[in-house]
Structure 1
Amino acid sequence: MMAERLVLTVTPNPALDMTWHAGRLSPGETHRVDAAQVRAGGKGLNVARVAAQQGARVLAVTTSGGATGIEFAAELESSGIPSVLVPVAAPTRRSVAIVDDRDATVLNERGQDPGADAWRALIEATVDAAASAGVLVVSGSLPPGAPDELVPVLVHIAQAHGIASIVDTSGPAMLAAARAGATVLKPNRAELAEATGLDEPLAGARTLLDGETRLVLVSLGTEGMIAVPHDGPALHARLPEVLVGNPTGAGDAAVAAASVLLAAGVEDPETLLRAAVAWSAAAVLEPLAGSISPRHAEFAERLVVTAYAPTETA
């Protein structure tokens, strides 16, 4: 897949990602492991990495501060991902992932509010970049104290430039993105239930489709993903088998797939769903978030896609 126009990602709460691999994690025990693998992370950065790996033009807009921010900026520069970093006083947070042969355990620092001046600078950088973008991705958590209007303002920037937007966040920010009219929303099942108060994914997704949002993609973990469009039937896609690996970047890979297609002008729900699930599955096979296995093409061919109904086990 190749997007002619820029995939622009905004990460309001970046992190210095540290990943350790352990054969088997036993709580309360001591583990001897190799040195951590360290990357500039946060969900939007992972989206940009995956999209760039697959040939898209990308630009990542985020913040950087403190000692961790120095390491964050250096790693991002060495990775070759084009970026605009807004300098802030608050230190860039850290994220720890411990991956064993069963699953991944993740500890995410909450982050700190960088302040009103930093938010203005982040918005200005987004406005400057949006003129050449084909899609605007707002991805990840917000630090405590972030302004309520931040996500809606970013969505409105996309609208003002006539481009699609995709938002992957949680809680009130997800609801705010829906009210602002984000083109695509990408919660996981837990985030959707938290935001809407509804445990059933289809019912929860439909509450987000009252305005201009065209599609909700809901990650169901090992059970695949559903696509709930504004018009038309809901679809469910999954692989016929469960993959074992590191799931920490799977959702970001799904967003990357959708963003590359949206940047190219593709909005068909089934096409977006198929790519999102295939890339998400391919991310599980990689040791670090922000990359996908070349097997994504194979996975796309083997997906099982069916109509989704609340009575289905998913």
Structure 2
Amino acid sequence: MIVTVTPNPSLDRTYRVDGFRLGALHRADHVTVEASGKGVNVSRVLAVRGVPTMAVLPLGGSEGGHLAGLLAEAGLPHEGVGVAAAARVNVTVIEPGGRTTKVNAPGEALTAAEQEALVRRTREAALTEAASWVACCGSLPPGTDPELTVRLIQAAHSAGARAAVDTSGAALPAALSAGADLIKPNREELAELTGRELRTVEAVVAAAREVAAGGTAVLASIGVDGAVLVDGRVCLWAKAPSIEPVNTTGAGDTLLAGYLAAASAESGSMRPESRLAEAVALGTSACLAPGTAELPGTLLRPEHVVVRRLDGAGRAAGDSGVPINHAAAERAAGEPRRSS
């Protein structure tokens, strides 16, 4: 069982348009409304893959009621915490070729009592379901102390579960200080966390090593360059075959879902290379479906993902002196540019 907690869930409205120009009138040819937020996305993918999951989230206002109805309609197990403020609504515009424009609403602050209820419900769910992981995902509502992330991690650990965190801003270093077992930043979030410019995969690897030295594993998603996994035992870089993306929104959430499923108690003996290949294959597959964190009918297979073990200098084993950035690595290996 994997429990997810989403402090700032949303309704996601997605519009597909023939082309997008600022200041112009557009007529969408397809519109969807989905229950969303990063933790909800992770749980949705896990459920589709047959992995037991429970989504914990605050639900308020008519938007929260709509969100809860969508979760029930999808058969996604969830525990709602009643709050006063309405759930936020996000807008996504998708053009041919998969270029995506997003406008995310900020959400509303949770009161101290509502935060306490969210932490309590998360711990109860993890205990009741004997969760192997609790994934704390997404931004915190405006004005929320990053201490909420710390308390959610503590709730996971007190219930005997490992804690994974996919967040940004001040909540990310707070997660490290609280002893999160895994963080899943993207390139920009890892750059902010370490105060570095991460223009190459080699730079991403160095930054991830720096963070993982504190004892927290780092699963960094880096777009077309794939993903990097660094923990106390291994440093890996994985890339999937090149694709023509349909919608990249939620691909990172799908990557995390794939990794947590592979790293759960039931399949904990899987090698790190295999766990990362499973995650990258699933995250890349999500880019081929029109919805947020949706999976297409045919999935990319893990064996099609190239996984390299990196040395202390951030170079692939056997690629002596070749810097790990997508251009150099692809020239060295003769591989096409890939996406995840």
1:50 aligns with 45
Distance 2:293 2:243 in 1: 20
Q: What's the TM-score once normalised by structure 2's chain length?
A: 0.86
Counterpart selection for 2:23 from 28, 49, 56: 28
Deviation at 1:114, TM superposition (A): 1.8
Tell me whether 1:121 sits opposite 2:117 in the alignment.
Answer: yes
Tell me whether 1:100 sits opposite 2:100 in the alignment.
Answer: no
Mean CA deviation greater in 262-271 or 36-45: 262-271
The one-letter code sitting in structure 2 at the alignment partner of 1:186 is: K
Whether the aligned pair in 2 keeps the contact of 1:239 and 1:299 (CA below 8 Å) is no
The one-letter code sitting in structure 2 at the alignment partner of 1:116 is: A
Tell me whether 1:259 sits opposite 2:255 in the alignment.
Answer: no
**Tell me, which stretches of 5 or more residues in structure 2 are unaligned?**
198-202, 316-322, 327-340
1:283 aligns with 286
Q: What is the 5 A alignment of 1:107-256?
A: 107-131=103-127, 132-199=130-197, 200-213=203-216, 215-232=217-234, 234-256=235-257
Higher relative contact order (CA 8 A, sep 6+): 1
| Rg (Cα) greater in structure | 2
Deviation at 1:152, TM superposition (A): 1.4
Distance 1:265 1:301 in 2: 18
Distance of aligned partners of 1:216 and 1:243 in 2 relative to their CA distance in 1, 3 Å threshold: farther
Q: What's the TM-score once normalised by structure 1's chain length?
A: 0.92
1:270 aligns with 273
2:332 aligns with none
Distance 1:161 1:290 in 2: 28
Whether the aligned pair in 1 keeps the contact of 2:16 and 2:28 (CA below 8 Å) is yes
Tell me whether 1:19 sits opposite 2:14 in the alignment.
Answer: yes
**Could you tell me the percent identity over the aligned residues?**
37
Paired residues in the alignment total 306
**Tell me, which stretches of 5 or more residues in structure 1 are unaligned?**
1-5
Distance 2:89 2:215 in 1: 35
Q: Deviations over 1:196-242 (max 9, x none)?
A: 212231222123223331x211111011111112223x211112314
Tell me whether 1:299 sits opposite 2:311 in the alignment.
Answer: no
Whether the aligned pair in 2 keeps the contact of 1:227 and 1:270 (CA below 8 Å) is no
Distance 2:279 2:30 in 1: 31
Distance 2:51 2:29 in 1: 33
Q: Deviations over 1:50-89 (max 9, x none)?
A: 0000001111000111221121121111111111111111
What is the root-mean-square deviation of aligned Cα atoms in Å? Answer: 1.6
Deviation at 1:279, TM superposition (A): 0.6
